[in-house]
Structure 1
Amino acid sequence: MNELFFKLLELSQAGFFCSQILLIIGLEAQGKENPELVRAMSGLNGGVGFCGKTCGALTGGACLIGLYTGKGTLEEMEDSRENDMIRELVNWFEGTACAGYEGTNCDNILEGDPANRVTRCPQLVIDTLSKVEEILAANGYTLSGS
Structure 2
Amino acid sequence: MEDMAVMDNMAFTMFKLFNAGYRCTQIMMKMALDEEEKENEDLLRALNGFCIGIGSNPKTCGVLTAGIALLGLYAGKGNDLEYPKPAYSSMVDDYTEWFELEFAGTECRDLIGVVSFIEWSTNQEYRLKCGNVLIKSYVKIQEILRDHDFTFGSRE
DSSP 3-state at the match of 2:55: coil
Which position in structure 1 is the counterpart of 2:152? 143
Which position in structure 1 is the counterpart of 2:37? 31
Amino acid at match of 2:28: L
Shift of 1:118: 1.5
Shift of 1:80: 1.5
Name the CA distance, whole Å, in 1 between partners of 2:114 and 2:15: 22
Amino acid at match of 1:111: G
* CA RMSD, 1 decimal: 1.3
* Aligned-residue identity in percent: 33
DSSP 3-state at the match of 1:49: helix
Unpaired runs of 5+ residues, structure 1, are: none
Kindly tell me the number of residue pairs found equivalent between the two proteins. Answer: 142
- Higher RCO (Cα < 8 Å, 6 or more apart): 1
Name the CA distance, whole Å, in 2 between partners of 1:59 and 1:84: 15
Which position in structure 2 is the counterpart of 1:109? 111
Q: TM-score, normalised by structure 1?
A: 0.91
Which position in structure 1 is the counterpart of 2:136? 127
Amino acid at match of 1:109: L
Shift of 1:132: 0.3
Unpaired runs of 5+ residues, structure 2, are: none
Q: TM-score, normalised by structure 2?
A: 0.86
Which position in structure 2 is the counterpart of 1:4? 10
Name the CA distance, whole Å, in 1 between partners of 2:88 and 2:114: 33
Q: Which has the higher helix share?
A: 2
Q: 1:41-81 CA deviation, whole Å, 9 max, x = no partner?
A: 00101000110011111110110111111111122221121
Larger radius of gyration: 2
